[in-house]
Amino acid sequence: MTRTSPSRQTVVITGASAGIGRAIAVEFARAGWNVAAIARGEAGLAGTIRAIEGAGGRAMAFAADVADPDAMVEAADAVAAEWGGIDVWVNNAMVTVYAPVQETTPDEFARVTAVTYLGQVHGTLAALKHMRRRDAGTIVQIGSALTYRSIPLQAPYCAAKAAVRGFTDSLRSELLHDRSRIRLTMVQLPAVNTPQFGWARSVLPREPEPVPPIYQPETIARHVFHAAMTAPREMWVGASAWKAIVGNMLVPGWIDGFLARNDYQGEMTSRAANRQRADNLHEPVDTDPGSRGRFDDRASGGVMAADPRWLKLGLAAILGTVAGTMLFATRAEGKAEGKAAERRRLRHRL
């Protein structure tokens, strides 16, 4: 279903049938954009089209798996042909598995990697194909605080998000080398109230939940839209994300122990797991749940976000000062020991 409007800007969003992706699609629609939604579930995509058009945007949808690179190229080509180009591409699609490492199969590791990491690579390559022709456009990678600080019970997902950051940093340097005007930004998110906790694969004894504090997807979408407009190198959303990322920079060993003691329980509700429910690892759970999950009563509608460059510079200055002080002290100690040794030699000669 399409509506042509060459004067409007165009965004493509992966994982747009529910959760954060649905909320991002609506946020761009409210600003009057053409919005192309990519996801596997047709029922969810139909709901996203209605939401986009209801918010004032024009919609196009593709039932496709981001793990398929050819499907991403085909979608990008169709969007560019219909609307004249791609201004913003948001890589948001993900899947996860809740399980200890030793209970996660190689197939599950491969699938999470194919969607959550390689899906962002495939989307980026499809976007670059069209953005390079105009030397313009913005690619937004949806990351997580778990990009920097892995947690137990989600090793495949944490590893995939860390891989996205490594890929993004490499590409950024290449774009700078080429003096490209294509912009690249990564948004690191906190826990969000989305439907994923009701359809993620899990072997846990109780139903999974986001680790509090929890935020609503609509407020996250506003920050993603802002990141697409301003393209900071990174944007960290939510105090919990800041604490996790900075804490891991400063005291990673302490956080290892803290997570070992607390995070197993923090990732599970008190409700016993339903072993019969479907999961979306390999096939979509083809429903239309909307943007929000089942944690409305615990989710906040307000969250701060900022470019962390000044914090990083401050930390670098502090660490540099500490390192310089330690080096000075070490050298001073060495000189003192040298003088003491020289005095001992003199006394021995006397």
Active-site residue set: 157
Task: Please spell the DSSP secondary structure of 217-253, one letter per residue.
Answer: HHHHHHHHHHHHHH--SEEEESHHHHHHHHHHHH-HH
Contacts of 177 (CB under 8 A, 6+ apart): none
> In this structure, what DSSP letter does residue 202 have?
E
Closest CA to 67 of 246, 225, 244, 283: 283
Helix (H, G, I), strand (E, B) or coil at 100: coil
Those residues whose C-beta lies under 8 Å from the C-beta of residue 38, and which sit 6 or more positions away, are 12, 13, 14, 15, 16, 61, 62, 64, 66, 72, 75, 93
Exposure b/e, 22-38, CB count within 10 A at least 16 = b = bbbbbbbbbbebbbbbb
> Among all chains, which residue has been given the structure tokens 């109230």?
193
CB atoms within 10 A of CB 106: 7
CB–CB of 161/143 below 8 Å? Answer: yes
